[in-house]
């Protein structure tokens, strides 16, 4: 039997890459996904410029945190440095989802933060902050994304898209989905009038409740 390095992680990236497109969180080859294995200090990340329904496990690139390709003959996503910086500096982050979803990108194009217009913003925290613009695929963008996100679980990338992190890929993907929903609510509410923002005290309650949300192992 042929053993593929980080096979489970690579298969998950393919599965969730298809979900990115099916959920409308990106189009074409846009966006990227990664999973980090701290035991081996290896990162599996989607390859650059390949449609998600054409990616095979061997195409998913395995890198160490010094940018060395450990396995795959494909090039990694151009945003690999934006993934790496979180794995090296935020210990609890084990998966990252980057999207070009339409409503999040619209809010990011306005260079707005996303306020607590709906309680589901709690997947990120009490808001979604905004990171300064930088050219895609650069160390500058990686640094801006990390500094902009701070201790939140999502950040809007100015004139670019959304980045969501989590302790596993399921949580990172859910965060991206719920923040996209919240961006849509905010966009539509702003189109009619001034949305009411949930107070800080209520968001503290919600964030605490989210710690025990769902089916816990």
Q: Which of 79, 177, 178, 180 is catalytic?
A: 79
**Do the beta carbons of residue 43 and residue 84 sit within 8 Å?**
yes
Q: Among 185, 99, 180, 82, which Cα is nearest to 134's?
A: 82
**Do the beta carbons of residue 95 and residue 169 sit within 8 Å?**
yes
**Do the beta carbons of residue 161 and residue 31 sit within 8 Å?**
yes
What are the backbone dihedrals phi and psi of residue 96, each rounded to the nearest 5 degrees, phi first? Answer: -140, 140
Residue 82 CB neighbour total at 10 angstroms? 27
What's the full length of the chain, in residues?
217
Element (H, E) at 156: strand 154-157
Please indicate whether residue 139 is annotated as part of the active site: no
- Residues known to be catalytic: 79
């Amino acid at each position: 039997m042929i053993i593929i390095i980080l096979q489970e992680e690579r298969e998950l990236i393919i599965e969730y890459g298809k979900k990115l497109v099916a959920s409308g969180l990106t189009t074409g080859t846009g966006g990227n996904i990664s999973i980090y294995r701290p035991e081996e200090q290896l990162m599996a990340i989607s390859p650059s410029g390949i449609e998600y329904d054409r990616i095979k496990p061997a195409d998913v690139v395995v890198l160490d945190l010094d940018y060395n390709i450990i396995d795959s003959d494909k090039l990694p996503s151009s945003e690999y440095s934006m993934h790496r910086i979180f794995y090296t500096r935020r210990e609890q982050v084990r998966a990252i989802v980057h999207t070009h979803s339409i409503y999040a990108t619209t809010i990011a194009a306005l260079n707005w933060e996303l306020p607590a217009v709906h309680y589901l913003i709690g997947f990120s925290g009490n808001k979604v902050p905004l990171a300064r613009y930088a050219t895609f695929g650069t160390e500058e963008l990686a640094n801006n994304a990390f500094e902009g996100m701070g201790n939140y679980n999502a950040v809007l990338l100015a004139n670019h898209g959304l980045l969501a992190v989590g302790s596993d890929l399921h949580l990172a993907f859910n965060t991206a989905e719920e923040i996209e929903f919240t961006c849509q609510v905010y966009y539509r509410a702003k189109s009619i009038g001034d949305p009411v923002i949930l107070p800080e005290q209520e968001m503290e309650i919600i964030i605490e409740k989210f710690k025990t949300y769902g089916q816990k192992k």
